[in-house]
Amino acid sequence: MRNLVLYGGGPLLMAIREFVVNCGFDVTTITSKRYNQSVEKNCLTELDQDRKYFVAESISEVCEIVKKYGLEESFHLSLGAPWLFNQEFFESIESKIYNIHGTGLPRFRGAASFSWQILSGSRIGSCTMHEIDSGIDTGDIVYDELFVYPKFCITPSDFMEFYHKKVFKTFSKIIPDILNSSFEFIPKAQSNYVSSSWPRLITDKNGAINWDYNINELVRFIRAFDSPYPGAFSQLNKTTVRFKDVDFDLSLAGFHSFQFGQIYNIHSDIVFVAVNGGTLLLSKRQVESQGVKIKLGDRFSTPIDLLTVSKQRFRV
């Protein structure tokens, strides 16, 4: 029976950790300050105070923990690990490390996969486990199970919640077998000619709204930065406004490009905004809760410099 070492954090890691501990296996968790929130730490403490829980800020610190506590022969599994595993780490363990990924690799490699899926209009997900190598999500796949996100999944939070439930249900069946050495891995190489890799998105930089997008592009863009993120943004009377919980109507269309972004009707709590190919529907309460008053004829617009910045890649 092998021990399990989990790298990363978040609700999915916590759920898998609790399940595996309750199955009687020894689990060590290595996380970072990004995940070391009081709620998670309290959950870990209440779960079993005698288990190992470490916070590491660099991959070198991770290697030191692995060596110090004799974790080299454990089963190593990443769920949202914030470090780039390098040769130093690979040489510190006597087995391989695996990652759980939310898309059907080799598509949507990299970070912010749910936002990129929404932008791309893809509703295909996957419970994927793959080996971690020196690349970004490029290692051999050892398990994958495709599924389709239901129509009620609209925002990244919706996708995450459904994905976490799906992944937990899938891997809670096989992780005990893996730790008991009764699960056979059959690695298969990824086909690079159909791959796609996308960088991490920073909402405050990449989330600037371009009002020239057509209605489908615009709605997908806004939803890609919706909960749990701050929201895509534009300006109204020089005040920044975040957009969340938007809807649209394709029958209210036929606008000239000069009208894009303009508020042409307000009815009850619904704000009607002219866009390319339809009407964007906003909540008046949601917009005005940000300290701006909406009037007929007002126009949302985004300065060119912010649109230029939004196309840039930001490394974190």
Burial of 82 (0-12, 13-18, 19+ CB in 10 A): middle
Rounded-to-integer distance, Cα 222 and Cα 137, Å: 26
Rounded-to-integer distance, Cα 48 and Cα 111, Å: 31
Q: What CATH architecture applies to the domain 4-198?
A: 3-Layer(aba) Sandwich (3.40)
pTM for the whole structure: 0.87
Question: Mind listing the pLDDT tens digit for each residue in 262-312?
Answer: 999 999 999 999 999 999 999 999 999 999 999 999 999 999 999 999 999
Closest by CA to 226, choosing from 112, 99, 86, is 112
Per run of 10 residues, the mean pLDDT along the chain (length 316 residues) is 88 92 92 69 49 86 93 93 92 92 84 88 92 90 93 96 94 92 88 85 96 97 97 96 96 95 97 98 96 96 97 82
CA within 13 Å, CB half, 216: 2
Q: Where are the alpha helices (DSSP H) in the chain?
A: 11-22, 38-47, 59-68, 87-92, 113-120, 156-179, 203-206, 215-224, 284-288, 304-310
Sorted by where each begins, the domain ranges of the chain are 4-198, 203-310
Q: Which tokens in the block code for residue 135?
A: 């690349």
Describe the strand order of the beta sheet including 124-131 as a list of residue ranges.
Answer: 52-55, 27-31, 4-8, 75-79, 97-101, 124-131, 141-148
Homologous superfamily (CATH) for 203-310:
Formyl transferase, C-terminal domain (3.10.25.10)
Strands 278-283 and 247-249 turn out to be: antiparallel
Task: Provide the pLDDT for residue 48.
Answer: 46
